[in-house]
Structure 1
């Protein structure tokens, strides 16, 4: 009966609406996804009182190793304390890489070990203690790689890698003043699809040295990259920790932005005392004076 009634109605009242009128009716029935409760819930996190959800274990270590197809891998280049700094390594992307991995290789007991480079030097050469590492920044064409280089009044002891002595202990204790470096770079399409990204409207400085972003990962993310973009087109990266010997009461330069993540946030910190900088490659780091 219902079907017959509908047919009769169609016959008695033919449809005279235009396509534009139908489009208007359909548009009025649509709801943009940002106005749905599902979308709003994706931007918030429910409180979970379980200890495993609220904190990373105080003594636990998690190691995640991934194999992601690499767009470009450079040759190995020799580096040494008091040698050439910076050296240029072209990457041929003609765009800012989405991710850069600077690999630093040293040899101990006939076995090569590879360590990651750092996105900024962490202090200058003003303190009579070991300093160093291998630092880098990059643009659309190449990487600049920096190692420690003594000046006339240098007080620090430059190193490429330190694996022992002082506060460190492990399977071997050594310090290295020579090594090799190479770079691996990726564009965004070669990486897994990001679950969160912000590319504008965020800044950090020694005057405003703190940023806190509320997000909702749902779990600890496998990979987080923080890129610091400068006015000259160069980019460097934030680091996870700052293992430095420093003197904040003097003119010692402390540099580098560190970051940490939880299931619900990303937090950035920059140094903010005396002569500190968000990134620097100067005063004991070679021929250029970048800060």
Structure 2
């Protein structure tokens, strides 16, 4: 029977139906079509943070070494925040700040940055030389609409980290590309895939070396504040390109005033961006709803398309203007409000989630505050937007499942660089989003990536597997018969 056993193993190994998953080997993981594994690391505990804490407490800032390091820059870092009050809802941390402490208007957020050496630093608001108006979790107060109001000074945080081996290979990965808030404040990076991506990640490196801090660019929130208060980056994407706006004469990242402790001071005027695009992720279930002026507040709480494991799964939330210069572009949401002063213009959609639902907040749509807002002061005035009607997409990406995905549709293992478009500043007129109303409940669209495998591939693949099993059975029968005959000779 040894000969039979050897033949069976040889056939299995060469057939492609037998795959060994090695977590440390990215090529094996990608070729197997594995959608995603569990995070490489989840912090073993929830850390307490408290805005405006005394320096002696150190609650406003801490640095940790990420467990089970990637030994390179992580592909995705996710900071989860939950209120001390015991709520089940998770608020995503942010890679941007858009406020200082110079105003009495409240603001909030948990901000983080990380390095390739496995360091991660997490910070919350702390008065520097202005007002103690920053808190940890803030949903905008009376200036924003949502099913409940969130105003929390203390919270618990933890991080989740995915290395390259925990994700399929991106369909597109750009090189590190220079960006400058003074002279190079708008980029278009063409991924050229021709289909709407399932997920896009944009990283900002605070310099030009592997030793520099990195933060994640967030999507939809922006403000019309001026001077040193103007910071952060905005990005959006469609089936062809990724647009990235920087604040003109502002900062790409700013912790110099109103955040963290004195040792955390980090003002970034110029840096480098890297874009990752995934075009075909299996095990993804999505739901789309419309938000506009007629969306009622109760409808800002939406059931998830599938139950979410908050330890391992990924929730991805974007909004797309229904008209204007960025119609159809997806802007990722944010996890805390930093703009609530009714005297200034701003935009954005905030969200939090539990295992079965998502809650949304947006500014009161009064003609000065919007769901997506890109003013002339961002990106040199290119592709401005003031949208009061968007399509929100809620996606849940399940971890640890095997994709039934044909090779022709798997993300390419090659890193491809497409041209980057840098435009000179201009100031086209701003376009006001259409306020036409559609009922949220009547416009729920469901999308299940896990059942969109081509039927032909399933038929051919299934038939091939049955044929292989049949051939194996014949071979085993013949070998066993031969061995049996030899025993009686």
CA distance in 2, matches of 1:263, 1:107: 40
Question: Does residue 78 of structure 2 align to residue 78 of structure 1?
Answer: no
- The separation in 2 between residues aligned to 1:67 and 1:141, in whole angstroms, is 21
Partner Cα distance (1:217, 1:128) in 2:
46
How far did residue 143 of structure 1 move?
0.7
2:254 corresponding residue in structure 1: 280
Q: Of 81, 88, 98, which aligns to 1:104?
A: 81
Alignment partners' CA distance in 1, 2:246 and 2:240: 21
Alpha-carbon distance in 1 for matches of 2:36, 2:73: 22
Contact 2:39–2:161 under 8 Å retained in 1: yes
Alignment partners' CA distance in 2, 1:228 and 1:67: 23
1:247 is matched with which residue: 217, 225, 228? 225
Q: Relative to 1, partners in 2 of residues 1:80 and 1:177: Cα closer, same or farther, differing over 3 Å?
A: same
Decide which of 45, 51, 69 is 2:38's aligned counterpart: 69
| Distance apart, 1:86 and its partner CA | 2.2
Change in CA separation of 1:206 and 1:266 when aligned onto 2, cut-off 3 Å:
same
**1:149 and 2:123 matched:** no
Residue number in structure 2 paired with 1:237: 216
User: If you compute each CA radius of gyration, which structure gives the higher value, 1 or 2?
Assistant: 1
So what's the TM-score if we normalise by structure 2? 0.42
What SS class does the counterpart of residue 256 from structure 1 fall into?
A: coil
From 83, 88, 91, give the equivalent of 2:63.
88
Say whether the 8 Å CA contact 2:107–2:138 is kept in structure 1: no
Deviates most, 232-241 or 66-75:
66-75
Question: Helix, strand or coil for the counterpart of 1:216?
Answer: coil
> What residue is the counterpart of 2:382 in the other structure?
none
CA distance in 2: counterparts of 1:179 and 1:170, whole angstroms: 20
Residues 1:225 and 2:195 aligned together: no
Task: Identify the structure with the greater strand proportion.
Answer: 2
Any stretches of 5+ residues in structure 2 without a counterpart?
1-34, 268-489
SS state at 2:142 partner: coil
**How far 1:68 moved relative to its partner?**
4.4
User: Tell me, what secondary structure is at the counterpart of 1:166?
Assistant: helix
Q: Secondary structure at the match of 2:165?
A: helix
2:7 counterpart residue number: none
**Aligned partners of 1:242, 1:127: CA distance in 2, in Å?**
18
CA RMSD, aligned part only?
Answer: 1.9
CA distance in 2, matches of 1:121, 1:195: 30
Of 127, 133, 140, 2:109 maps to 133
CA distance in 1, matches of 2:192, 2:73: 27
Q: Which consecutive residues of structure 1, in runs of 5 or more, have no partner in the other structure?
A: 1-65
2:190 to 206, 214, 236: 214
* Partners of 1:220 and 1:263 within 8 A in 2: yes
Runs of at least 4 residues off by over 6 Å? none
Is residue 164–residue 172 contact of structure 1 (8 Å, CA) maintained in 2? no
Distance 1:156 1:211 in 2: 35
Q: Deviations over 1:138-190 (max 9, x none)?
A: 01222111110123x32251111113523322221131111011000011121
TM-score normalised according to structure 1 size: 0.70
SS of equivalent residue, structure 1 residue 189: helix
Is the contact between residue 51 and residue 136 of structure 2 (CA under 8 Å) also seen in structure 1?
Answer: yes
State the Cα deviation string for residues 40-79 of structure 1 (Å, max 9, x = none): xxxxxxxxxxxxxxxxxxxxxxxxxx97411100021000
3-state SS of paired residue (2:88): strand
